[in-house]
Amino acid sequence: MQRFESSVALITGGSRGIGLAIARRLVDEGARVVITGRSQESLDAAVAELGVDEAGVPHATGIAGKADDAEHRAAVFAHIAECHGRLDHLVNNAGINPAYGPALEIEASVIRKILEVNVVAALEWTRSAVEAGLTRSIVNLSSISAVSAAPGIAFYGVSKAALMNLTVQLAHELAPGIRVNAVAPAVVKTAFARALYEGREAEVAAEYPLQRLGVPDDVAGPVAFLLSEDAAWITGQTILIDGGASLRPIG
Ligand SMILES: NC(=O)c1ccc[n+]([C@@H]2O[C@H](COP(=O)([O-])OP(=O)(O)OC[C@H]3O[C@@H](n4cnc5c(N)ncnc54)[C@H](OP(=O)(O)O)[C@@H]3O)[C@@H](O)[C@H]2O)c1
């Protein structure tokens, strides 16, 4: 399938984990991608992994910066304007969870930082993308913690619930031209989630009806679907990608 032939996609936090899997999937289907992250070294490794076309032109470029830094955002959109002259898809993938513990014990400054990166920055990337002439679709990376109790990572869950609702609001505002959807994964094996399963993967996986944890490609496929014209009549929705964790059978 070449659903993204001639299209350009911007993926925040695309140097590893879920973001890199999404980048790989879109490149495999014909896209050029621009990826971001804080470490230029990691981005360079990801760009090398994403390869070059027949003419030797890299499929990806990587621009380093923090997702909540306005100057970094401006640099990314200047690069897109200069090198591509178009933008078709945005994936708001960069997200943080710098605190672990009960909600009542999280410091207000940490709460603000989580909301700044996971919610406000997603809105800012979207605003800039729309101003840059975004043509087709957006996917936001929410989390299953948005719709269930998330012991230890409660405020992360609050931020992802806000992002899920922002998806609905933006889908309504940006229709009919641009579709906006989200995905909400349970535990996916990446550096970000390692503390949730390291040393007890079998035990955690046993809680999932599908009896395993997620891998980044489990998320990349549904994200590619939502970005593509296969989802042309879907907007404002969040797909749970959770190995059945949300089924919660009674009895
Ligand atoms: N893994 C899971 O179980 C899971 C479940 C539900 C939702 N999610 C969501 O999925 C998204 C991706 O998570 P992941 O598991 O793939 O994480 P990951 O493997 O740690 O990758 C995170 C990516 O984002 C970049 N990044 C981190 N903080 C950033 C910041 N402040 N500004 C810019 N880039 C930043 C990282 O590069 P640098 O470190 O170089 O900046 C990296 O490229 C996040 O929004 C996360 O909340 C993950």
CA distance 152 to 148: 12
In DSSP notation, 52-107 reads B-TTS-BSEEEEE--TT-HHHHHHHHHHHHHHTS---EEEE--------B-GGGS-
The average pLDDT across 150-164 equals 96
Nearest alpha carbon, ligand 1 atom 19: 17
Domain boundaries of the chain, sorted by first residue: 8-185+218-245
Number of residues that this document lists for the chain: 251
Residues identified as active-site:
156
pTM: 0.98
Instruction: Calculate the average pLDDT of the chain.
Output: 97
> Does residue 31 have its Cβ closer than 6 Å to ligand 1?
no
Token pair 């009919």: residue: 176
Nearest alpha carbon, ligand 1 atom 44: 95
Residue 251 has pLDDT above 90, yes or no: no
> Does residue 188 have its Cβ closer than 6 Å to ligand 1?
yes
> Does residue 19 have its Cβ closer than 6 Å to ligand 1?
yes
CATH 3.30.750.24 given to domain 8-185+218-245: no
Tokens encoding 218: 């489990």
Ligand 1 pocket test: pick from 93, 138, 158 the residue with the most ligand atoms within 8 Å of its Cβ.
Answer: 93
Q: Which atom of ligand 1 is nearest to the CA of 95?
A: 45
Tell which residue, 42, 83, 89, has the closest CA to residue 191: 42
Tokens encoding 16: 């590893």
Residue 1 has pLDDT above 90, yes or no: no
CA distance 12 to 2: 22
Q: What percent of the chain has pLDDT over 70?
A: 100
> Does residue 145 have its Cβ closer than 6 Å to ligand 1?
no
* The predicted structure's pLDDT at residue 246: 94
* The predicted structure's pLDDT at residue 106: 94
